Amino acid sequence: MNAATAIGIAETATRQGGRDQELAFWKAFVPTERFRLNWCNASPNPELEPEIDFFVSSLAWEIEKSHRRARILDVGSGPVSILRGSFEHLNVDLVCVDPLADEYSDIRASNDLALPVSIMCGHGEQLASMFGPRSFDAVHMRNALDQTANPLSTIRQMLHVARPEGYLLVHGFERQADAQNWIGFNQWNVYHDNSDICVRGLDGIEHRILTIFESLLVPIRVYRRQLSQDRSWCGFVATVR
């Protein structure tokens, strides 16, 4: 049994609690001025790391110069993709997937957000059944890997739908399970350690993502950033072999 199948999957009741918690967060956040300004109008979204914005917009620009539209997948996008404002004046197919897509559509409608947003309903562990292999120039996931039922399976699925010489971009808060007391979706700690990004569940077993997938990924950037005394951010950008 390989690591992607051996890693445990959180219980259904716990996942349902996470679903309710996630929807409560967005129902409270979407009506705010901050959401409307940053997520719906700003270009780029100031809450997106500048390095990520620069990377994806530069990639789209280079692909457009070759007379092709970039295809970028945002996995776990939320009600509005944080990448939405990164492609102003560029021809990009931004495809979004989230297991709560239908509920997010209702939240947008109830807040009169008439945005050109289309989000497909699906899980990160199911990408291969939704898209063909080698479908995207870049596959992005922000602050969502720790909320998946199976993080390693999700990475494997992201690799399946990414083109060779395409890119994976994965980033988010460190050790959110600890910070959220292992409640709801927060059943995995994701953290930076010794030039790798690791995931660890309640069983205490550490899975080193870049090591596990070293035959499929070439890291470009692996990083950790301290945001405050008790909060940090980590992630990686890697080329797909």
- pLDDT band of residue 17 (cuts 50, 70, 90) is confident
Over range 140-157, report the average pLDDT.
97
> Is pLDDT of 95 > 50?
yes
Q: Mean pLDDT over all residues of the chain?
A: 94
pLDDT of residue 116: 79
Q: From the CB of residue 21, how many other CB atoms can be counted at a distance below 10 Å?
A: 15
Q: From the CB of residue 28, how many other CB atoms can be counted at a distance below 10 Å?
A: 10
In terms of average pLDDT, the best of 9-13, 135-139, 181-185 is 135-139
Query: For residue range 187-221, what is the model confidence (pLDDT) as tens digits?
Result: 999 999 999 999 999 999 999 999 999 999 999 99
Query: Please, are residues 18 and 184 in contact by the beta-carbon 8 Å criterion?
Result: yes
Largest CA distance in the chain: 49
Q: State the pTM of this model.
A: 0.94
> Is pLDDT of 64 > 60?
yes
pLDDT of residue 8: 47
Alpha helices in 7-67 (DSSP H): 12-29, 33-34, 50-65
Q: Give the burial class of 148: count Cβ atoms within 10 A of its Cβ; 0-12 exposed, 13-18 middle, 19 or more buried.
A: buried
Over range 62-76, report the average pLDDT.
97
Over range 61-73, report the average pLDDT.
97
- pLDDT band of residue 2 (cuts 50, 70, 90) is low
> Is pLDDT of 146 > 90?
yes
Q: List the domains of the chain with CATH numbers.
A: 3-240 (3.40.50.150)
> Is pLDDT of 7 > 60?
no
Give me the percent of the chain exceeding a pLDDT of 70: 95
Amino acid at 23: L
> Is pLDDT of 117 > 70?
yes
- pLDDT band of residue 5 (cuts 50, 70, 90) is very low
Torsion from C-alpha of 72, 98, 84, 188, nearest 10 degrees: -90
